[in-house]
Structure 1
Amino acid sequence: MHYIALFFLLALSPLLTAQSAPDHLLRYDQPARYFEESLVLGNGRLGASVFGGTGTDTIYLNDLTLWSGEPVDSSYFPDVAGNLPAIRAALAREDYRAADSLNRILQGPFSASYAPLGTLMLDFDTPNDITDYRRELDLSNATARVSYQSGGTELTREYFVSHPDKVIAIRLSSDRPGTINTTLRFGSLLRYQTEVSDGDLHVNGYAPYHAEPSYRGDLPDAVRFDPERGTRFTSLFRVKHTDGQVTATDTTLELSGVSEAVILVSIATSFSGFDKDPAREGLDNRALAAAALDAASKKDYAALREAHVIDYRSFYDRLHLDLGATSAPDLPTDARLQRYATGEEDKALEELYFNFGRYLLISSSRTPGVPANLQGLWNPHLRPPWSSNYTININAEENYWLIGPGNLSDLHTPLLEFIGNVAQTGARTARNYYGTGGWAAAHNSDIWALSNPVGDFGTGDPNWANWNFGGVWLATHLWEQYLYMQDADYLRDEAYPLLKGAVQFGLDWVVQDTAGHWITSPSTSPEAKYITPDGYVGSTLYGATADLAMLRELFANFLAASGALNIADPFTTRVRETHDNLHPYRVGRQGNLQEWYYDWEDQDPQHRHQTHLFGLHPGHHISPQLTPELANAARTTLDIKGDETTGWSKGWRINLWARLRDGDRAYRMYRTLLRYVPPVGARHGGTYPNLLDAHPPFQIDGNFGGAAAVIELLMQSSADTIHLLPALPAAWPSGSVTGMGARGGFVVDLEWENSRPARATITARANGSTTVIFGDDQRPVTLKAGEQTVLEF
């Protein structure tokens, strides 16, 4: 072992066994009955959801690369762009009913679905006299643990998913020799076969080549399998034991009289890229799984765990949050949530939720080209809610809001590479569906980088199926990555060409209105509907505020990137002229920011989407300082919408209130985001017992959006400013945070007392300048890479 690694391990070793603090520990006094109570583990590709049962321990297994479907078929790109003039003509004569109908022509197939790999079940010969049960997930080392007394014996199980060794490891132990009797078996909703070879249980199977979205209901042949099509998977199970014996059948491994055993699970799929047929051009999943299992088996359990913890903590330990002392009692996590829902104080729970968001991101975003999906990594359903896909009208992007401020920008790579994949299919979408250059993407995508507007060729409602600015929104992440990391090579070689392609689509998509301003036509506002003065409830219009907000942000990003790269040419001139003449924002008669080109009524004034506020967040061109009138209109819009909404929408609204510098309103919504939601029968957004976001049902974006919002309350940054405590809630008068990422290429540590900064430490990733601001106090800072400065307030 390298001396540096050994030194780190020795420093770390007391923390491997010590009791974790309540802001890093989920714990429960009973096994999980539902997925929404399970403990989720992951290494960025492999996922395990642990129930911790005493008679049968159920462990759902996932692989982030196991999806239904196949690469995008070019024949699904009909040349329908010729219909676009008719839609624009209908809008020009204000015939919105005809525009909605014609817009349906510009629809293609639905996305593929993220698939559940299967379930590992451990059946225990356990008496019924269970006492002292404890189930926990320690976020500080990404390890779950179950312990209980049975018949005078203490039985313990420990679980983790290793990124360096590519296996799931489960350690079974007992304080009395020879008392572990367990049968290991496997089941799956997919097609599979099992066999035993050399004492290992082998499972080989394949995913469906087609799965209908669950929201389409009970359709015939909704899930279709073909042994010659679809992604292959292999799951291997090996038991290493100290004593006793392991007996194999065709479908099980049976442990008897064992004192300690380690179960290693190796999983691989044939997925080899978004454009490769996984059945004909796929990776050798059998060989990959076998190689990982054999390599991991050469290490003992302690070495596997040490490597796992060191790797994981290289991410997790970058940031530490302390919101001050708490008087909350030490309770199981579900009881803490229920107590908190009554209005009681629990700063440790608020910190725990934030840390859980970081944990989930580390655990689900480490696979090249395959970002965290709607459920992150953890899905038990063959037809999961909303296909567990990449919904890119907010949800996939919200998954990554924590990346920069959470000091995890290297985990942005799966999304950034995915954007590059979507740009390739999106170039065909732009050409065939819209007759434009550049690249475009619509409402949904999947592992195959689907980019066409979905809706099954006309059956989808245009208010969601025909929104086509997913690529424009995704492209803003490219510039954000540069702002945080200041990597000029990345900007020039990777980000800029993709930015330019998205900008090209935007330029080709806009038309001029009667006032000479550039607008989008046709246009929709994601999942929202308007009511015209004559009572028509519709979706298709021209110049929706959301589209124009995203174009403003994208064009500004591109111009800033061009400046950073010293690029000035006729194309940048055209971008600037178009940017400066986009149709302006309008304030409606209620004082709200208009969502529609005209001051129309909303079909649902409290709709969960608020995409027309994009310029406030995640964009940066609306703010109380820069545009006070528009910021006030955004505030009125949020007042009209209210605080009761779905989980991911709450996460977004907390960020919006933070940008409006209203920390107490944001905090009030943060508390409702943490509102306890039971695992079944929920009708409102909040948090399930295992801290996963209750949309409902489970969607992970609320976790990520809520965690990102905590930093927005404590620090906000731009390319050249860092605002300290811009929206500090009264509930957090004193505290500290270390390791926040700031735009401009800085890392910020902050201590505050009596609701004011006490000390800030600014460290530079690269040579750069910024201005640190608190109220009227402005401190210019210029640093070279690696330098830091301490500011006292």
Structure 2
Amino acid sequence: MPETRFHRTRPTARLLIAFATAATGCLSIPAQQAQEPARLWYRAPAPVWTEALPIGNGRIGAMVFGGANTGPNNGDLEDAAKNADILSGDKTRGQDEHLQLNESTVWAGSRADRLNPRAAEGFRRVRALLLESKGTDGKKIAEAEKLAQETMIANPKAMPPYSTVGDLYLRSSSSEAIADYHRQLDLKTGVVRITYRQGPVHFTREIFASAPDHVIVMHLTADRPNAISLTASMDRPGDFAIRASGQRDLVLTQSATTKNATHFQAQARFATHGGAVHADGDRIVVEKAQELTVLIAAASDFKGGPILGGDPATLCGDILASAQKKNFAALSAAATKDQFRYIDRMSLSLGPVDAALAAMPTDERLKRVAAGQDDFGLQALYFQYARYLLLGSSRPGGLAANLQGLWASGLSNPWGSKWTINVNTEMNYWLAEAANLSEMHQPLFDLVGMVRDPASGTGVKVAKEYYGAKGFVIHHNTDIWGDAEPIDGYQYGIWPDGGAWLTLHAWDHYAFTGNKQFLRSQAWPLLHDASLFFLDYLTDDGSGHLVTGPSLSPENKYKLADGTSHSLTMGPTMDIEIVRELFQRTMQAGTILGEDAAFLQQVRQASDRLPPFHVGSLGQLQEWQQDYQEDAPGHRHISHLWALFPGTQIDLRHTPDLARAAQVSLERRLANGGGQTGWSRAWVVNYWDHLHNGQQAYDSLQVLFRQSTFPNLMDTHPPGVFQIDGNLGGANGMLEALVQSRWYADHGEVDLMPALPTAWQQGHITGLRVRGNQELSLRWSNGKLDAVTWVAHQDGRFEIALPPGLHLHSSPDLTEPAPGMVSLMAHAGKSYNLRFD
């Protein structure tokens, strides 16, 4: 790509720039733009899981119901039909409590050799059939698909699922009616707080997951003595054993007959102030206490990647012994301080606080939005909630956020709640860097490293035994045992790009942080080996281009002239886009690090032979090398626009013709009913941002709120189950509307407010990170940018695209190479304050 690009023309106004030497922002925020409290709150306990509130410390977590059901259905089921009899809340008691518990390493099943022994032979024949078909012979393609199913899909074809630890219940001894119930989650502290009155007594429960002390803490208080009497129990949907240990502990484990290789334990310890506590069979009874503190630890013996493993009973015992040395105030202070230091790095306001809306419960506000209203405070809350979810489900030293982050209620959860890497896992982390949670990205790199390492995963083995290739490969899913084989079925699993896409996140971490040590020690080995695989795997398509295959455009099918529909093909557009980006980033990283020039030359030569983009007969960006008709024109996956986002090969400034073709593709998909899942609609928001269409991006964000958001603000996926990707991807779309960035070897590019929705007339954002290791804060009013504080954390030259109506006034440190563009040479340790007329 050329390194100098000033192609955008904009109307002009005046830009004033001031400079400060301290590397801290100094953007002043008007009082009327103060934020609402960052909290979700409700007037009733949660009768079902999708109304409960999540807490997590990256390793253990819980869904806090703020009450418990009296019948056999505890509300864990993500199934509206099965929950019908409890949805009203009439069977839910607010004086009780229910925590559904998770620990990130508790998975069903075990490590196994899943490689199909016929894979190498099958791969060669499947590829030959697809090449012979020339993309038009339906019989050969059908034969290739049948053979791929038989010879290339893993055996067994499904990976093991992520599972719940189980449930903890506190059931009050009192049946007296309660009043003045209030349930809330404070995002800045990470504390769920429940208050209510029962007769003359006021009760409070505070519940949080502590990262410093590795426990979940529950603290119950009453404003009168002898008021807390309850019975505590634990269970699990299946495969469990429960016992009391001593007079104060409940211990939950797998059953003695479990077939799972991973063994776990969850232990709850009860301590009172006043009153008494004792065991009664497999329950704990608390009588006439004024305060009760419950410490919950959970662990498994899984060992792999960053997880050291160990005996779960010993691990839980050590954690509890350490935590109980602190009183509740000390535990709370440590956890709150830890949570606040991450959440408070960034703020977002989308206008003045609406006192009437701020006084409404979160579920009522969401219903109002579903009825067609705007709620800018709720949108800002949704953004911070996404950051909260990432922080709660992905911490250094732990596992990456899975399909449900950390929170999953069943033994076998939707799609196994694994790492689905044909978009979902990547979407979980789009937000990490820009939203100032860079450290939370690390578990994703550890996951890729775990699959790549032959001691813990099969990425190298699959590359060699399936494809005869060096390096490593991952298909469309992986699990806690680092499995890399194609799974489920040929129409989903025969897609070899998952590892490459994940690897690009490691490059992006370097682009945002400038951490050269990370580039050398972690990113480069992944980039090198992912590229090494494709150097061996790519094949000539007969016209001189190198293509992937057998592969597919994730989960979509194309139609042939004979009316048949097929999945497998050679060189689908998304594959070529990912491989091209991988090769580009490998060459950049290798040049920066001074790596093997001969290897980099091989990468460059292969990159030059990748096929170009194609625009189809309808003006659309083609999804396949041929101009096929789609089997499902409104398909949820819109994978061939990957180069628009999160890729960097298509944008309005540098490739306007391809951007127009991408827009045609997007419009056709939506016109035919696309974007119907939460994660798909979230990707649509980001696509519109990169087409600089703020109105369409905003409309899609509203669709996300109206049809894909549960009362607890978690994202829904049909048929009504939680997936975290919609939350995290949608929040990233809010950022991409305000700032977009790209980074090259010699400069960075930053677009200021490229897709500001008309509805967002005023607001501010602080602490936003951009590639090139810079930090920005923005303030705007009347739909126009007022001020930017630019904090440089490293030296660099940046081309800044201004929103319409702005123009550089004068400055010796900035130049205006073209209308609407500013060039800034940033110096580490300086803060640049940009003011606009």
TM-score, with structure 2 as normaliser: 0.86
Rounded to whole Å, the distance in 2 between the matches of 1:650 and 1:268 is: 36
CA gap of 1:773–1:21, structure 2 versus 1, over 3 A, is: closer
Which residue, out of 666, 688, 702, partners 2:710?
688
- Distance in 2 separating the partners of 1:48 and 1:191: 19
SS at 1:273 equivalent: coil
Of 231, 234, 240, which residue of structure 2 is paired with 1:192? 240
The answer to whether 1:316 aligns with 2:316 is no
What does 1:217-616 correspond to in 2, within 5 Å?
226-227=257-258, 229-273=260-304, 282-327=309-354, 329=357, 330-366=359-395, 368=397, 370-424=399-453, 425-455=458-488, 460=489, 462-567=490-595, 569-616=597-644
Identify the match of residue 56 of structure 2 among 20, 25, 42: 42
Cα contact 1:693–1:703 (8 A) shared by 2: yes
Report Cα offsets for 1:216-252 as digits up to 9, x if no partner: xxxxxxxxx8547521212222222110111212311
**Contact 1:369–1:415 at 8 Å: present in 2 too?**
no
Q: How far off is 1:439 after superposition?
A: 0.6
Paired residue type of 1:620: T
Q: Is the 8 A contact 1:118 1:187 kept in 2?
A: yes
Structure 1 residues 487-525: Cα deviation after superposition (integer angstroms, max 9, x where no partner): 111111211111111111112221122321111121211
CA–CA distance in structure 1, aligned partners of residues 60 and 713 of structure 2: 20
- Map of 2:82 onto structure 1: none
Instruction: Select 1:106's aligned residue among 127, 148, 152.
Output: 152
Measured after TM superposition, the shift of residue 436 of structure 1 is: 1.2
CA displacement at 1:757 relative to structure 2: 2.1
* Residue 78 (structure 1) aligned to one of 117, 122, 127: 117
- State the alpha-carbon separation in 2 of the partners of residues 126 and 351 from structure 1: 40
Q: Distance in 2 between matches of 1:513 and 1:195?
A: 63
- In 2: Cα distance, 1:321 partner to 1:632 partner: 31
Tell me if the contact between 2:208 and 2:216 (Cα under 8 Å) persists in the aligned partners.
yes
Q: Distance in 2 between matches of 1:339 and 1:765?
A: 42
Question: Aligned to 1:718, what secondary structure does the other structure show?
Answer: strand
Question: CA offsets, 1:567-611, max 9 Å, x none?
Answer: 351221121122122111111111111111111111100100011
- Name the structure 2 match of 1:743: 771
SS of corresponding position for 2:431: coil
Instruction: Indicate if the aligned counterparts of 1:234 and 1:269 stay in contact, CA closer than 8 A.
Output: yes
> Displacement of 1:644 after TM fit?
4.4
Question: In 1, distance between residues paired with 2:777 and 2:478?
Answer: 37
Kindly indicate whether the alpha-carbon contact (under 8 Å) linking 1:23 and 1:348 is maintained by their aligned counterparts in 2. Answer: no
Which runs of 5 or more residues in structure 1 are unaligned? 1-19, 208-224, 676-684
SS in 2 for 1:93: helix
Candidates 723, 734, 737, aligned match of 1:710: 734
1:655 lines up with 2:686 in the alignment: yes
What is the CA distance between 1:284 and its match in structure 2?
A: 1.6
Q: Identity, % of aligned pairs?
A: 38
After superposition, give the CA deviation of every residue in 1:406-438 in whole Å (9 maximum; x if it has no partner).
111111110011111112321101111111111
Q: Does 1:158 align with 2:206?
A: yes
Q: Do the aligned residues in 2 keep the contact of 1:97 with 1:536 (CA within 8 Å)?
A: no
Q: Which residue is equivalent to 1:125? A: 173
The answer to which of 537-546 and 84-93 deviates more is: 84-93
Structure 2 vs 1, CA of residues 230 and 202 (structure 1 numbering), >3 Å: closer, same or farther? Answer: farther
Q: Is the 8 A contact 1:548 1:583 kept in 2?
A: yes
Of 91-100 and 355-364, deviating more is 91-100
Q: Which residue of 2 aligns with 1:778?
A: 821
Report deviation, 1:750: 1.1
Separation in 1, partners of 2:525, 2:327: 47
1:26 maps to 40
C-alpha RMSD over aligned residues: 1.8
Find the aligned partners of 1:666 and 1:226 in 2 and give their Cα distance.
52
Give the unaligned 5+ runs of structure 2.
1-33, 68-93, 134-139, 804-818
**Post-superposition shift, 1:723?**
1.1
1:134-184 C-alpha deviation (Å, 9 max, x unpaired): 111111111001111112221111101100011111111112211111111
Between the aligned partners of 2:569 and 2:675, the Cα distance in structure 1 is 28
CA distance in 2, matches of 1:447, 1:153: 47
Matched, 1:787 2:835: no
Q: CA deviation at 1:786?
A: 3.2
Letter in 1 for 2:328: Y
| Counterparts of 1:546 and 1:351, CA distance in 2 | 32
Corresponding position of 1:88: 127
CA contact (8 A) 1:370 1:414 kept: yes
Match of 1:145 in 2: 193
Greater Cα shift, 60-69 or 351-360: 60-69
Secondary structure class of the residue paired with 2:775:
strand
Correspondences of 1:639-678 after superposition (within 5 Å): 639-642=667-670, 644-675=675-706
Question: Secondary structure, in 3 states, of the residue corresponding to 2:232?
Answer: strand
Instruction: Work out whether 1:623 is the aligned partner of 2:654.
Output: no
Gap change, CA 1:716 and 1:148, over 3 Å in 2: same
Q: 1:681 is matched with which residue?
A: none
Measure how far apart 1:478 and its partner are.
1.1
Seen in structure 2, the aligned counterparts of structure 1 residues 716 and 248 have a Cα distance that, compared at 3 Å, is same
* Separation of aligned partners in 2, 1:22 and 1:419: 38
Task: Answer whether contact 2:306 2:398 (CA < 8 A) is retained.
Answer: no
How many pairs does the alignment contain? 738
Paired residue secondary structure (1:40)? strand
Counterpart secondary structure, 2:63:
strand
The code of the aligned residue for 2:367 comes to Q
1:63 and 1:117 in contact (8 A); partners too = yes
Taking the aligned partners of 2:677 and 2:663, their CA distance within structure 1 comes to 19
* Alignment TM-score, normalising by the size of structure 1: 0.90
Distance 1:491 1:236 in 2: 40
Q: Which amino acid aligns with 1:51?
A: F
Kindly indicate whether the alpha-carbon contact (under 8 Å) linking 1:84 and 1:434 is maintained by their aligned counterparts in 2: yes
Q: CA deviation at 1:275?
A: 11
Q: Answer whether contact 2:740 2:752 (CA < 8 A) is retained.
A: yes
The farther-off stretch of 101-110 and 323-332 is 323-332
Tell me if the contact between 1:725 and 1:756 (Cα under 8 Å) persists in the aligned partners: no
The amino acid that maps onto 2:312 is N
Q: CA deviation at 1:198?
A: 3.6
CA separation in 2, counterparts of 1:598 and 1:785?
49
Q: What is the distance in 1 between the residues matched to 2:238 and 2:604?
A: 52
Answer whether contact 2:35 2:349 (CA < 8 A) is retained: no
Instruction: Name the amino acid aligned to 1:288.
Output: L
- Equivalent AA in structure 1 for residue 482 of structure 2: A
Matched letter for residue 336 of structure 1: R
1:475 CA displacement: 1.1
**Contact 1:55 / 1:125 at 8 angstroms: preserved in 2?**
no
Tell me whether 1:57 sits opposite 2:97 in the alignment: yes
**Cα distance in 1 between the residues matched to 2:273 and 2:127:** 73
